[in-house]
Structure 1
Amino acid sequence: MPKDRPGGKKAWKTIFIFLAITAITSSIFHNAIVHLYPSSIYIGALMWCPALAAFVTLKLTGRSVSTLNWHWGNWKYIRLSYFVPACYALLTYLLLWVLGFGGLASGELVLDWARELGLMGIGSLTPALAAIIAFVLLGTVGVIRSMATTLGEEIGWRGFFIYELRKVLPVTGVSLFSGIIWASWHWPLIVY
Protein backbone atom coordinates (compact mmCIF):
# COMPACT_ATOMS: atom_id res chain seq x y z
CA MET A 1 0.00 0.00 0.00
CA PRO A 2 1.48 3.35 -1.01
CA LYS A 3 1.98 5.87 1.75
CA ASP A 4 0.84 8.85 -0.30
CA ARG A 5 -2.63 7.65 -1.22
CA PRO A 6 -4.86 10.21 -2.89
CA GLY A 7 -7.14 11.72 -0.28
CA GLY A 8 -5.10 10.29 2.61
CA LYS A 9 -4.80 13.60 4.47
CA LYS A 10 -8.49 14.30 3.96
CA ALA A 11 -9.41 10.83 5.27
CA TRP A 12 -7.22 11.24 8.38
CA LYS A 13 -8.76 14.66 9.03
CA THR A 14 -12.24 13.09 8.75
CA ILE A 15 -11.21 10.26 11.10
CA PHE A 16 -9.89 12.65 13.73
CA ILE A 17 -12.98 14.86 13.54
CA PHE A 18 -15.13 11.75 14.04
CA LEU A 19 -13.01 10.56 16.98
CA ALA A 20 -13.04 13.99 18.65
CA ILE A 21 -16.82 14.30 18.39
CA THR A 22 -17.25 10.72 19.61
CA ALA A 23 -14.95 11.37 22.59
CA ILE A 24 -16.70 14.61 23.57
CA THR A 25 -20.26 13.27 23.29
CA SER A 26 -19.37 9.91 24.84
CA SER A 27 -17.69 11.52 27.85
CA ILE A 28 -21.02 13.01 28.89
CA PHE A 29 -22.68 9.59 29.03
CA HIS A 30 -19.61 7.77 30.39
CA ASN A 31 -19.71 10.27 33.26
CA ALA A 32 -23.46 9.74 33.77
CA ILE A 33 -23.07 5.95 33.78
CA VAL A 34 -20.19 6.04 36.26
CA HIS A 35 -21.46 8.78 38.61
CA LEU A 36 -25.24 8.63 38.32
CA TYR A 37 -27.53 5.68 38.54
CA PRO A 38 -26.36 3.44 35.64
CA SER A 39 -29.70 3.53 33.90
CA SER A 40 -30.00 1.85 30.53
CA ILE A 41 -31.06 5.19 29.06
CA TYR A 42 -27.50 6.48 29.51
CA ILE A 43 -26.10 3.30 27.97
CA GLY A 44 -28.45 3.60 25.01
CA ALA A 45 -27.45 7.24 24.54
CA LEU A 46 -23.76 6.32 24.76
CA MET A 47 -24.24 3.68 22.07
CA TRP A 48 -25.65 6.34 19.71
CA CYS A 49 -22.66 8.69 20.17
CA PRO A 50 -20.65 7.09 17.30
CA ALA A 51 -23.60 7.48 14.91
CA LEU A 52 -24.13 11.09 16.00
CA ALA A 53 -20.41 11.74 15.49
CA ALA A 54 -20.58 10.15 12.03
CA PHE A 55 -23.55 12.32 11.01
CA VAL A 56 -21.96 15.51 12.35
CA THR A 57 -18.62 14.66 10.70
CA LEU A 58 -20.39 14.09 7.39
CA LYS A 59 -22.09 17.48 7.73
CA LEU A 60 -18.82 19.24 8.64
CA THR A 61 -16.97 17.66 5.71
CA GLY A 62 -19.75 18.46 3.24
CA ARG A 63 -20.71 14.85 2.58
CA SER A 64 -24.14 13.30 2.39
CA VAL A 65 -25.42 10.56 4.69
CA SER A 66 -25.92 8.50 1.52
CA THR A 67 -22.11 8.20 1.30
CA LEU A 68 -22.15 5.89 4.33
CA ASN A 69 -21.21 2.37 3.37
CA TRP A 70 -24.24 0.64 4.88
CA HIS A 71 -27.09 -1.40 3.52
CA TRP A 72 -29.00 -4.55 4.26
CA GLY A 73 -26.83 -7.54 3.59
CA ASN A 74 -27.76 -10.92 2.28
CA TRP A 75 -30.74 -12.25 4.30
CA LYS A 76 -29.00 -15.61 4.64
CA TYR A 77 -26.31 -13.96 6.76
CA ILE A 78 -28.80 -11.84 8.67
CA ARG A 79 -30.63 -15.01 9.70
CA LEU A 80 -27.35 -16.69 10.60
CA SER A 81 -26.39 -13.69 12.74
CA TYR A 82 -29.45 -14.41 14.86
CA PHE A 83 -29.21 -18.20 15.09
CA VAL A 84 -25.45 -18.82 15.30
CA PRO A 85 -25.01 -16.94 18.63
CA ALA A 86 -28.12 -18.68 19.98
CA CYS A 87 -26.62 -22.05 19.03
CA TYR A 88 -23.23 -21.44 20.62
CA ALA A 89 -24.89 -20.04 23.76
CA LEU A 90 -27.05 -23.17 23.96
CA LEU A 91 -23.99 -25.37 23.43
CA THR A 92 -22.11 -23.50 26.16
CA TYR A 93 -24.97 -23.89 28.64
CA LEU A 94 -25.38 -27.57 27.78
CA LEU A 95 -21.67 -28.18 28.42
CA LEU A 96 -21.86 -26.31 31.73
CA TRP A 97 -24.87 -28.34 32.82
CA VAL A 98 -23.54 -31.71 31.64
CA LEU A 99 -20.09 -31.15 33.18
CA GLY A 100 -21.65 -30.03 36.47
CA PHE A 101 -20.31 -26.45 36.47
CA GLY A 102 -23.81 -25.02 36.70
CA GLY A 103 -27.45 -25.92 36.75
CA LEU A 104 -30.82 -24.79 35.59
CA ALA A 105 -32.32 -21.78 37.32
CA SER A 106 -34.45 -22.67 40.31
CA GLY A 107 -38.23 -22.48 39.99
CA GLU A 108 -38.23 -19.62 42.49
CA LEU A 109 -35.76 -17.59 40.40
CA VAL A 110 -37.79 -18.21 37.24
CA LEU A 111 -40.95 -17.00 38.98
CA ASP A 112 -39.04 -13.89 40.12
CA TRP A 113 -38.28 -13.22 36.43
CA ALA A 114 -41.97 -13.76 35.66
CA ARG A 115 -42.92 -11.19 38.31
CA GLU A 116 -40.39 -8.76 36.83
CA LEU A 117 -41.98 -9.26 33.38
CA GLY A 118 -45.49 -8.83 34.80
CA LEU A 119 -46.51 -12.40 33.97
CA MET A 120 -47.78 -13.42 37.40
CA GLY A 121 -51.43 -12.77 36.53
CA ILE A 122 -51.43 -15.51 33.85
CA GLY A 123 -53.59 -18.37 35.16
CA SER A 124 -51.60 -21.17 36.74
CA LEU A 125 -48.13 -20.05 35.71
CA THR A 126 -45.54 -22.77 36.25
CA PRO A 127 -41.81 -22.13 36.26
CA ALA A 128 -41.51 -24.02 32.95
CA LEU A 129 -44.20 -21.90 31.27
CA ALA A 130 -42.68 -18.71 32.70
CA ALA A 131 -39.24 -19.73 31.34
CA ILE A 132 -40.69 -20.39 27.87
CA ILE A 133 -42.52 -17.04 27.80
CA ALA A 134 -39.42 -15.18 29.03
CA PHE A 135 -37.27 -16.97 26.41
CA VAL A 136 -39.67 -16.01 23.61
CA LEU A 137 -39.87 -12.38 24.83
CA LEU A 138 -36.08 -12.10 25.09
CA GLY A 139 -35.67 -13.65 21.64
CA THR A 140 -38.08 -11.22 20.01
CA VAL A 141 -38.78 -8.03 21.94
CA GLY A 142 -35.38 -8.14 23.66
CA VAL A 143 -33.56 -8.49 20.34
CA ILE A 144 -35.51 -5.62 18.76
CA ARG A 145 -34.81 -3.42 21.79
CA SER A 146 -31.11 -4.26 21.65
CA MET A 147 -31.00 -3.57 17.92
CA ALA A 148 -32.34 -0.07 18.53
CA THR A 149 -29.31 0.81 20.65
CA THR A 150 -26.62 -1.21 18.90
CA LEU A 151 -27.57 0.38 15.58
CA GLY A 152 -25.87 3.58 16.74
CA GLU A 153 -22.57 1.78 17.22
CA GLU A 154 -22.90 -0.08 13.93
CA ILE A 155 -23.54 3.12 11.96
CA GLY A 156 -20.66 4.97 13.63
CA TRP A 157 -17.98 2.33 14.05
CA ARG A 158 -18.60 -0.07 11.18
CA GLY A 159 -20.55 2.06 8.73
CA PHE A 160 -18.34 5.14 8.99
CA PHE A 161 -15.11 4.70 10.97
CA ILE A 162 -13.99 1.39 9.43
CA TYR A 163 -14.87 2.64 5.97
CA GLU A 164 -12.74 5.77 6.46
CA LEU A 165 -9.83 3.79 7.92
CA ARG A 166 -9.86 1.52 4.87
CA LYS A 167 -8.94 4.57 2.78
CA VAL A 168 -5.62 5.02 4.60
CA LEU A 169 -4.64 1.71 6.23
CA PRO A 170 -4.23 -1.90 5.15
CA VAL A 171 -6.59 -4.52 6.61
CA THR A 172 -4.25 -5.33 9.52
CA GLY A 173 -3.87 -1.63 10.34
CA VAL A 174 -7.64 -1.12 10.21
CA SER A 175 -8.14 -4.07 12.56
CA LEU A 176 -5.52 -2.97 15.07
CA PHE A 177 -6.29 0.76 15.03
CA SER A 178 -10.06 0.30 15.21
CA GLY A 179 -9.67 -2.38 17.90
CA ILE A 180 -7.57 -0.09 20.09
CA ILE A 181 -10.01 2.81 19.64
CA TRP A 182 -13.04 0.62 20.26
CA ALA A 183 -11.48 -0.95 23.37
CA SER A 184 -10.54 2.51 24.67
CA TRP A 185 -14.09 3.73 24.12
CA HIS A 186 -15.45 0.83 26.21
CA TRP A 187 -12.73 1.04 28.87
CA PRO A 188 -14.56 3.42 31.28
CA LEU A 189 -17.48 0.98 31.42
CA ILE A 190 -15.19 -1.98 32.09
CA VAL A 191 -13.14 -0.25 34.79
CA TYR A 192 -16.09 1.17 36.71
Structure 2
Amino acid sequence: MIGGRRTALSLTVYLVIAFGLSWLIALPLWLSGQGLQHPLFGAIAVGMMATPAIGALVAVFVVERGPNRAERLGLWPLRPAGRFWMYLGLGLVVPVALVVAALVIGALLGTYPADFARFSGYRSLLAATGAASLPIPIGLLVAAQYLNIVVGAALNLIPALGEELGWRGWLLPKLLPLGTVPALLISGAVWGLWHAPLILLGYNYPTASGWLGVLLMMGMCVVMGGIFGWLRIRSRSVWPAALAHGALNASVGLSAVYARAGESVDTVQATILGWSGWIAPAVVVIVLLIAGQFRWPTPAEQRRRRAF
Protein backbone atom coordinates (compact mmCIF):
# COMPACT_ATOMS: atom_id res chain seq x y z
CA MET A 1 0.00 0.00 0.00
CA ILE A 2 0.92 3.63 -0.34
CA GLY A 3 1.39 4.63 3.27
CA GLY A 4 1.25 7.85 5.21
CA ARG A 5 -0.99 10.87 5.36
CA ARG A 6 1.70 13.03 3.83
CA THR A 7 1.89 10.75 0.79
CA ALA A 8 -1.88 10.83 0.39
CA LEU A 9 -1.82 14.60 0.76
CA SER A 10 0.98 15.02 -1.78
CA LEU A 11 -0.86 12.81 -4.30
CA THR A 12 -4.03 14.83 -3.81
CA VAL A 13 -2.24 18.16 -4.16
CA TYR A 14 -0.42 16.93 -7.25
CA LEU A 15 -3.58 15.76 -9.01
CA VAL A 16 -5.59 18.85 -8.10
CA ILE A 17 -2.88 21.14 -9.46
CA ALA A 18 -2.17 19.11 -12.61
CA PHE A 19 -5.83 18.70 -13.55
CA GLY A 20 -7.11 22.01 -12.22
CA LEU A 21 -4.47 24.13 -13.93
CA SER A 22 -4.85 22.23 -17.22
CA TRP A 23 -8.58 22.95 -17.32
CA LEU A 24 -7.97 26.56 -16.31
CA ILE A 25 -5.42 27.06 -19.10
CA ALA A 26 -7.72 25.36 -21.63
CA LEU A 27 -10.72 27.46 -20.60
CA PRO A 28 -10.32 30.02 -23.45
CA LEU A 29 -10.82 27.20 -25.96
CA TRP A 30 -14.18 26.44 -24.41
CA LEU A 31 -15.38 29.96 -23.59
CA SER A 32 -14.55 31.39 -26.99
CA GLY A 33 -16.50 28.73 -28.85
CA GLN A 34 -13.52 28.37 -31.20
CA GLY A 35 -12.24 25.15 -29.69
CA LEU A 36 -9.19 23.80 -31.47
CA GLN A 37 -9.38 26.65 -33.99
CA HIS A 38 -8.50 29.22 -31.32
CA PRO A 39 -5.55 31.31 -32.56
CA LEU A 40 -3.64 30.62 -29.32
CA PHE A 41 -4.26 26.88 -29.35
CA GLY A 42 -0.55 26.03 -29.69
CA ALA A 43 0.44 28.21 -26.76
CA ILE A 44 -2.42 26.86 -24.67
CA ALA A 45 -1.41 23.25 -25.39
CA VAL A 46 2.20 23.95 -24.42
CA GLY A 47 1.03 25.73 -21.27
CA MET A 48 -1.04 22.70 -20.31
CA MET A 49 2.04 20.50 -20.64
CA ALA A 50 3.68 22.41 -17.77
CA THR A 51 0.92 21.67 -15.25
CA PRO A 52 2.06 18.16 -14.17
CA ALA A 53 5.54 19.56 -13.47
CA ILE A 54 4.05 22.36 -11.38
CA GLY A 55 2.03 19.82 -9.42
CA ALA A 56 5.07 17.62 -8.84
CA LEU A 57 7.25 20.54 -7.74
CA VAL A 58 4.64 21.71 -5.24
CA ALA A 59 4.22 18.15 -3.92
CA VAL A 60 7.97 17.68 -3.44
CA PHE A 61 9.03 21.13 -2.25
CA VAL A 62 5.97 22.24 -0.29
CA VAL A 63 4.17 19.11 0.93
CA GLU A 64 6.85 16.42 1.27
CA ARG A 65 10.01 18.51 1.68
CA GLY A 66 13.03 16.58 2.94
CA PRO A 67 16.31 15.70 1.15
CA ASN A 68 17.05 14.36 -2.34
CA ARG A 69 14.30 16.35 -4.02
CA ALA A 70 15.92 16.31 -7.45
CA GLU A 71 16.36 12.54 -7.18
CA ARG A 72 12.72 12.06 -6.19
CA LEU A 73 11.74 13.89 -9.37
CA GLY A 74 14.17 11.87 -11.49
CA LEU A 75 16.21 14.92 -12.47
CA TRP A 76 19.42 13.78 -10.77
CA PRO A 77 21.83 11.98 -10.55
CA LEU A 78 22.62 11.17 -14.18
CA ARG A 79 24.62 8.03 -13.42
CA PRO A 80 25.92 5.56 -14.09
CA ALA A 81 26.70 7.55 -17.23
CA GLY A 82 26.75 4.56 -19.57
CA ARG A 83 23.30 3.43 -18.46
CA PHE A 84 21.93 6.97 -18.67
CA TRP A 85 23.15 7.59 -22.23
CA MET A 86 22.02 4.18 -23.41
CA TYR A 87 18.47 4.75 -22.21
CA LEU A 88 18.51 8.29 -23.53
CA GLY A 89 19.28 6.79 -26.96
CA LEU A 90 16.52 4.23 -26.52
CA GLY A 91 14.17 7.04 -25.59
CA LEU A 92 14.81 8.58 -28.98
CA VAL A 93 14.60 5.38 -31.05
CA VAL A 94 11.97 3.17 -29.41
CA PRO A 95 8.92 5.50 -29.74
CA VAL A 96 9.67 6.13 -33.43
CA ALA A 97 10.02 2.39 -34.04
CA LEU A 98 6.68 1.77 -32.30
CA VAL A 99 4.96 4.49 -34.34
CA VAL A 100 6.18 2.83 -37.55
CA ALA A 101 5.24 -0.62 -36.22
CA ALA A 102 1.74 0.70 -35.52
CA LEU A 103 1.40 1.70 -39.17
CA VAL A 104 2.65 -1.67 -40.42
CA ILE A 105 0.31 -3.57 -38.12
CA GLY A 106 -2.56 -1.28 -39.11
CA ALA A 107 -1.83 -1.98 -42.79
CA LEU A 108 -1.82 -5.74 -42.14
CA LEU A 109 -5.12 -5.55 -40.24
CA GLY A 110 -6.72 -3.24 -42.80
CA THR A 111 -7.18 -0.32 -40.40
CA TYR A 112 -4.49 1.88 -41.96
CA PRO A 113 -4.56 2.68 -45.71
CA ALA A 114 -0.83 2.37 -46.37
CA ASP A 115 1.32 3.04 -49.40
CA PHE A 116 4.82 2.09 -48.30
CA ALA A 117 6.11 1.77 -51.87
CA ARG A 118 5.05 4.91 -53.75
CA PHE A 119 4.21 7.24 -50.83
CA SER A 120 1.21 8.48 -52.81
CA GLY A 121 -0.34 10.29 -49.85
CA TYR A 122 2.90 12.11 -49.15
CA ARG A 123 3.21 13.01 -52.82
CA SER A 124 -0.28 14.52 -52.69
CA LEU A 125 0.61 16.43 -49.56
CA LEU A 126 3.74 17.83 -51.22
CA ALA A 127 1.72 18.82 -54.27
CA ALA A 128 -0.81 20.63 -52.08
CA THR A 129 1.96 22.63 -50.43
CA GLY A 130 3.74 23.41 -53.69
CA ALA A 131 6.80 21.34 -52.79
CA ALA A 132 6.24 18.59 -55.35
CA SER A 133 8.41 20.42 -57.89
CA LEU A 134 11.53 20.14 -55.71
CA PRO A 135 14.28 18.23 -57.58
CA ILE A 136 14.66 15.72 -54.73
CA PRO A 137 13.74 12.01 -54.92
CA ILE A 138 10.67 11.13 -52.89
CA GLY A 139 12.63 8.47 -50.98
CA LEU A 140 15.13 11.07 -49.82
CA LEU A 141 12.31 13.35 -48.69
CA VAL A 142 10.80 10.49 -46.70
CA ALA A 143 14.18 9.72 -45.12
CA ALA A 144 14.54 13.39 -44.21
CA GLN A 145 11.43 13.11 -42.07
CA TYR A 146 13.39 10.96 -39.64
CA LEU A 147 16.02 13.68 -39.31
CA ASN A 148 13.17 16.09 -38.64
CA ILE A 149 11.98 13.75 -35.89
CA VAL A 150 15.39 13.87 -34.18
CA VAL A 151 15.33 17.67 -34.30
CA GLY A 152 11.70 17.75 -33.20
CA ALA A 153 12.38 15.42 -30.29
CA ALA A 154 15.17 17.71 -29.07
CA LEU A 155 12.97 20.79 -29.43
CA ASN A 156 10.09 19.01 -27.67
CA LEU A 157 12.29 17.84 -24.79
CA ILE A 158 11.57 20.72 -22.42
CA PRO A 159 7.79 20.92 -23.06
CA ALA A 160 7.64 17.12 -22.76
CA LEU A 161 9.58 17.35 -19.48
CA GLY A 162 6.70 19.48 -18.22
CA GLU A 163 4.54 16.37 -18.41
CA GLU A 164 7.10 13.68 -17.66
CA LEU A 165 8.38 15.38 -14.51
CA GLY A 166 4.89 14.74 -13.16
CA TRP A 167 3.76 11.46 -14.72
CA ARG A 168 6.94 9.38 -14.75
CA GLY A 169 9.34 11.54 -12.75
CA TRP A 170 7.25 11.75 -9.58
CA LEU A 171 3.89 9.95 -9.87
CA LEU A 172 5.02 6.54 -11.16
CA PRO A 173 7.59 5.91 -8.37
CA LYS A 174 5.00 7.11 -5.87
CA LEU A 175 2.57 4.44 -7.09
CA LEU A 176 5.07 1.56 -7.32
CA PRO A 177 4.33 0.32 -3.76
CA LEU A 178 0.96 -0.78 -5.20
CA GLY A 179 2.83 -3.12 -7.56
CA THR A 180 4.39 -2.54 -10.96
CA VAL A 181 1.36 -3.38 -13.10
CA PRO A 182 -1.13 -1.32 -11.03
CA ALA A 183 1.32 1.60 -10.99
CA LEU A 184 1.72 1.50 -14.77
CA LEU A 185 -2.03 1.17 -15.35
CA ILE A 186 -3.00 3.94 -12.94
CA SER A 187 -0.31 6.42 -13.99
CA GLY A 188 -1.08 5.79 -17.67
CA ALA A 189 -4.83 6.14 -17.21
CA VAL A 190 -4.39 9.35 -15.20
CA TRP A 191 -2.11 10.71 -17.91
CA GLY A 192 -4.72 9.95 -20.57
CA LEU A 193 -7.59 11.44 -18.55
CA TRP A 194 -5.56 14.61 -18.03
CA HIS A 195 -5.87 15.25 -21.80
CA ALA A 196 -9.68 15.55 -21.53
CA PRO A 197 -9.86 19.37 -21.97
CA LEU A 198 -8.50 18.94 -25.51
CA ILE A 199 -9.81 15.47 -26.40
CA LEU A 200 -13.40 16.50 -25.63
CA LEU A 201 -12.99 19.21 -28.28
CA GLY A 202 -11.97 16.63 -30.89
CA TYR A 203 -8.20 16.67 -30.52
CA ASN A 204 -6.49 13.45 -31.70
CA TYR A 205 -9.84 11.66 -32.26
CA PRO A 206 -11.99 13.88 -34.50
CA THR A 207 -14.26 10.99 -35.55
CA ALA A 208 -15.00 9.81 -32.00
CA SER A 209 -17.58 11.13 -29.59
CA GLY A 210 -16.09 13.13 -26.74
CA TRP A 211 -15.78 10.59 -23.94
CA LEU A 212 -14.99 7.74 -26.33
CA GLY A 213 -12.03 9.84 -27.42
CA VAL A 214 -10.98 10.25 -23.79
CA LEU A 215 -11.18 6.48 -23.22
CA LEU A 216 -9.11 5.88 -26.36
CA MET A 217 -6.54 8.41 -25.19
CA MET A 218 -6.37 6.64 -21.85
CA GLY A 219 -5.73 3.35 -23.63
CA MET A 220 -2.93 4.83 -25.71
CA CYS A 221 -1.39 6.47 -22.67
CA VAL A 222 -1.46 3.21 -20.71
CA VAL A 223 0.53 1.29 -23.34
CA MET A 224 2.94 4.11 -24.19
CA GLY A 225 3.15 5.06 -20.53
CA GLY A 226 4.43 1.54 -19.94
CA ILE A 227 7.28 2.21 -22.38
CA PHE A 228 8.06 5.57 -20.80
CA GLY A 229 7.83 4.01 -17.34
CA TRP A 230 10.35 1.34 -18.35
CA LEU A 231 12.77 4.06 -19.47
CA ARG A 232 12.27 5.92 -16.19
CA ILE A 233 12.80 2.88 -14.00
CA ARG A 234 15.73 1.37 -15.87
CA SER A 235 17.60 4.66 -16.27
CA ARG A 236 16.62 5.91 -12.77
CA SER A 237 16.05 9.21 -14.56
CA VAL A 238 13.16 11.18 -16.03
CA TRP A 239 15.21 12.49 -18.96
CA PRO A 240 14.95 9.41 -21.24
CA ALA A 241 11.18 9.37 -20.70
CA ALA A 242 10.98 13.07 -21.54
CA LEU A 243 13.00 12.56 -24.73
CA ALA A 244 10.79 9.60 -25.62
CA HIS A 245 7.71 11.76 -25.12
CA GLY A 246 9.22 14.41 -27.39
CA ALA A 247 10.10 11.77 -30.00
CA LEU A 248 6.56 10.39 -29.90
CA ASN A 249 5.07 13.83 -30.44
CA ALA A 250 7.50 14.50 -33.29
CA SER A 251 6.83 11.21 -35.07
CA VAL A 252 3.03 11.00 -35.16
CA GLY A 253 3.10 12.84 -38.50
CA LEU A 254 4.61 9.74 -40.12
CA SER A 255 1.07 8.47 -40.62
CA ALA A 256 0.64 11.13 -43.31
CA VAL A 257 3.92 10.13 -44.98
CA TYR A 258 2.97 6.49 -45.47
CA ALA A 259 -0.76 6.88 -46.13
CA ARG A 260 -2.39 6.08 -49.46
CA ALA A 261 -3.58 9.08 -51.45
CA GLY A 262 -7.27 9.83 -51.32
CA GLU A 263 -7.84 7.80 -48.13
CA SER A 264 -8.67 9.15 -44.70
CA VAL A 265 -6.93 7.82 -41.60
CA ASP A 266 -9.24 7.07 -38.68
CA THR A 267 -7.25 7.48 -35.47
CA VAL A 268 -9.84 5.43 -33.59
CA GLN A 269 -8.69 2.42 -35.59
CA ALA A 270 -5.16 3.20 -36.74
CA THR A 271 -1.82 4.91 -35.98
CA ILE A 272 -0.31 4.80 -32.50
CA LEU A 273 -3.47 6.55 -31.26
CA GLY A 274 -5.88 3.83 -32.40
CA TRP A 275 -6.44 0.33 -31.04
CA SER A 276 -4.39 -1.42 -33.72
CA GLY A 277 -1.45 0.82 -32.86
CA TRP A 278 -1.48 -0.29 -29.23
CA ILE A 279 -0.56 -3.88 -30.11
CA ALA A 280 3.19 -3.38 -30.58
CA PRO A 281 3.83 -1.30 -27.41
CA ALA A 282 1.59 -3.60 -25.36
CA VAL A 283 3.59 -6.64 -26.50
CA VAL A 284 6.86 -4.87 -25.69
CA VAL A 285 5.64 -3.92 -22.20
CA ILE A 286 4.46 -7.48 -21.51
CA VAL A 287 7.83 -8.90 -22.60
CA LEU A 288 9.64 -6.38 -20.40
CA LEU A 289 7.45 -7.29 -17.44
CA ILE A 290 8.13 -11.00 -17.93
CA ALA A 291 11.86 -10.26 -18.19
CA GLY A 292 11.79 -8.35 -14.89
CA GLN A 293 12.80 -5.05 -16.45
CA PHE A 294 10.69 -2.88 -14.15
CA ARG A 295 12.46 -3.50 -10.85
CA TRP A 296 12.83 -0.31 -8.81
CA PRO A 297 16.09 -0.02 -6.79
CA THR A 298 15.91 -0.84 -3.11
CA PRO A 299 16.69 1.91 -0.56
CA ALA A 300 20.14 0.36 -0.03
CA GLU A 301 20.85 0.45 -3.77
CA GLN A 302 19.72 4.07 -3.93
CA ARG A 303 22.09 4.98 -1.08
CA ARG A 304 24.99 3.28 -2.85
CA ARG A 305 24.25 5.24 -6.03
CA ARG A 306 24.32 8.53 -4.13
CA ALA A 307 27.73 7.63 -2.73
CA PHE A 308 29.38 7.57 -6.18
Q: After TM superposition, is the score higher than 0.5?
A: yes
Out of 8, 15, 18, the residue aligned to residue 12 of structure 1 is 8
Unaligned runs of 5+ in 2: 202-308
Q: Call closer, same or farther: CA 1:126–1:157 in 2, change over 3 Å.
A: same
Which residue is equivalent to 1:136?
147
- The code of the aligned residue for 1:51 comes to A
Compute the displacement of 1:157 (Å): 1.3
Deviations 1:40-69 (A, max 9, x none): 221111111000111122232234642524
CA contact (8 A) 2:22 2:197 kept: no
- Further displaced range: 42-51 or 30-39: 30-39
1:74 aligned counterpart, secondary structure: helix
Q: Which has the higher contact order (CA 8 A, sep 6+)?
A: 1
One-letter code of the match for 1:136? Answer: L
Change (3 A) 1:80 1:170: closer
In the aligned structure 2, how far is the partner of 1:136 from the partner of 1:81? 15
| Aligned mates of 1:33, 1:125 — CA distance in 2 | 41
| Whole-Å separation in 1 of the counterparts to 2:66 and 2:86 | 32
* Cα 1:182/1:87, change in 2 over 3 Å: closer
Residue 164 (structure 2) pairs with residue 181 (structure 1): no
Distance 2:196 2:143 in 1: 35
Q: 1:17 to 1:134 in 2, by over 3 A?
A: same
Q: Which residue of 1 aligns with 2:97?
A: 87
> Which residue, 125, 128, 132 being the options, matches 1:109?
125
Give the ranges of 4+ consecutive aligned residues of structure 1 lying more than 4 Å apart after TM superposition: 91-95, 111-115
- Alpha-carbon RMSD across the aligned residues, in angstroms, is 3.3
Q: Deviations over 1:132-186 (max 9, x none)?
A: 444422x22211122221111110111112223335x333443343344223212
Assess if the C-alpha contact under 8 Å between 1:110 and 1:127 holds in 2: no
Q: Determine if contact 1:22/1:53 at 8 Å carries over to the other structure.
A: yes
Counterpart in the other structure of 1:48? 50
Q: Per the alignment, do residues 180 and 82 of structure 1 end up closer, same or farther by CA in structure 2, a change over 3 Å counting?
A: closer
* Cα separation, partners in 2 of 1:82 and 1:111, compared to 1, 3 Å: farther
Q: 1:59 to 1:88 in 2, by over 3 A?
A: closer
Aligned pair in 2 of structure 1 residues 134, 177: CA closer, same or farther (>3 Å)? Answer: closer
TM-score by length of 1: 0.73
Identify the residue that residue 298 of structure 2 maps to in structure 1. none
Is this contact kept in 1: 2:92–2:150, CA < 8 A?
A: no
The alpha-carbon distance between structure 1 residues 127 and 110, as it changes in their structure 2 partners (threshold 3 A), is farther
Give the residue type in structure 2 aligned to 1:110: L
C-alpha contact 2:49 2:160 (8 A) present in aligned 1? yes
Q: What CA deviation, in whole Å up to 9, does each residue of 1:70-122 have, x standing for no partner?
A: 1445322322232233334344545639x89322134342255675xxxx8xx
Q: Which amino acid in 2 is paired with 1:156?
A: G
* Kept after mapping to 1: 8 A contact 2:26/2:48: yes
Q: Structure 1 unaligned runs (5+)?
A: none
CA 1:132–1:43: 2 relative to 1, 3 Å: same
Mapped partners of 1:143, 1:133: distance in 2: 14
Identity over aligned residues, as a percent? 22
The alignment's TM-score, normalised by the length of structure 2, stands at 0.48
Q: Is the 2:92–2:153 Cα contact (8 Å) retained in structure 1? A: no
Aligned residues: 179
> Are the equivalent residues in 1 in contact too, given 2:14–2:55 (CA < 8 A)?
yes
Distance 2:155 2:174 in 1: 28
**Shift in alpha-carbon separation, 1:25–1:101, aligned structure 2, 3 A:** closer
Kindly report which structure 2 residues correspond to 1:124-163, keeping only aligned pairs within 5 A, or say none.
125-126=135-136, 128=138, 129-137=140-148, 139-163=149-173
